[in-house]
Structures are given as C-alpha cells and as structure tokens.
Amino acid sequence: MVLTAGALWPGHAIANQALVQKNACIACHQPATRVVGPSWKEITEKYSDGKITAEQLAANIKGGSSGKWGAMPMPPQLQVSEADLKTIAQWLLDGAK
Ligand code: HEC
C-alpha cells in the first residue's frame, strides 16, 4: 500500500471538496445523504474492496452511469478534466475524507 497524498498533505481533503464543488458533482452527490445520486460514503463503501481501480472509476464518472444504484442515471461528465477525474476517483477509493 502506497502512502496517499492525503496522509502527507492535510489540505488535501479540502482540495477534494473544492474539486467536486467546482465540477458541479455536488448538485447530485452529498457526503453522507443520498440525494439525486448515491452519497460519497455509499460509493466509498461499495468500492472499498479494491476490485476497481481509480482509472476504471474515473471512466465510469466520465461516461456516466445507469442501473447500478437506482432508477436515476448519471449523465456523462465530459466537462471534467482527466486530472480532476483521476483525483476525484482516487479520493473516493481512499474513503472520501
Ligand atoms: C445530474 C446528477 C449527477 C451529477 C451532476 C453527477 N452525478 Fe454521479 N451519479 C448520479 C446518479 C443518479 C448516479 C447513480 C447511477 C447508477 O445508478 O448507475 C451516480 C453515480 C456516480 C458514481 C458511481 C458510479 C459507479 O460506477 O458505481 C460516481 C463515482 C459518481 N456518480 C461520481 C460523480 C462525480 C465525481 C461527479 C462530478 C464530476 C458526478 N458524479 C456528477 C448523478 C449525478
């Protein structure tokens, strides 16, 4: 297990919150409550088994998603830069803290 940036840089958590805000994810995702989409906590718990890589999760965000969580689909998030996608995906896999 490699040390994540979050362990080295305490400001990381705030930076990630700003990132999901900047990319308008928070219109549909909240930290612990399901609104339009699943909460960050639910996503973190579902993928905490290490079966999915940050690259795969980033691709799922970019391409949109449907049928995994409920009736509501997520439209493709094409506005998000590759760097932001990767950072957000890794943040989710690391527990969204
Ligand atoms: C218009 C509302 C909406 C927006 C905006 C949105 N999402 Fe979603 N998101 C959803 C819904 C609804 C689902 C559940 C889709 C499903 O059932 O497969 C979802 C699912 C997800 C998942 C789980 C995907 C999976 O493969 O299980 C992740 C991760 C995610 N969103 C991240 C993001 C990020 C990051 C952003 C911002 C770049 C974002 N979402 C923007 C509505 C949204």
pLDDT in tens, 59-95: 999 999 999 999 999 999 999 999 999 999 999 999 9
pLDDT of residue 83: 95
For each of the domains in the chain, give its residue range(s) and CATH number, in order of start. 10-93 (1.10.760.10)
Q: Is 97 in the pocket of ligand 1 (CB under 6 A)?
A: no
Is pLDDT at 38 greater than 70 in this prediction? yes
Give the pLDDT band of residue 2 (cuts 50, 70, 90).
Answer: low
**Amino acid code (one letter) for 71:** A
Ligand 1 within 6 A of CB of 74: yes
pLDDT for residue 97: 87
Exposure b/e, 47-76, CB count within 10 A at least 16 = b? beeeebebeebbebbbeebeeeeeeeebee
In short, whether 58's Cβ falls inside 6 Å of ligand 1 is no
Reported confidence tier of residue 23, pLDDT bands at 50, 70, 90:
very high
90 Cα to the center of ligand 1, angstroms: 15
Select from 48, 55, 74, 84 the residue to mutate for testing ligand 1; criterion: most ligand atoms less than 8 Å from CB: 74
Task: Tell me which of 28, 42, 93 to substitute to probe ligand 1's pocket, judged by most ligand atoms within 8 Å of the beta carbon.
Answer: 28
CA distance 47 to 9: 23
Share of the chain above pLDDT 70, in %: 89
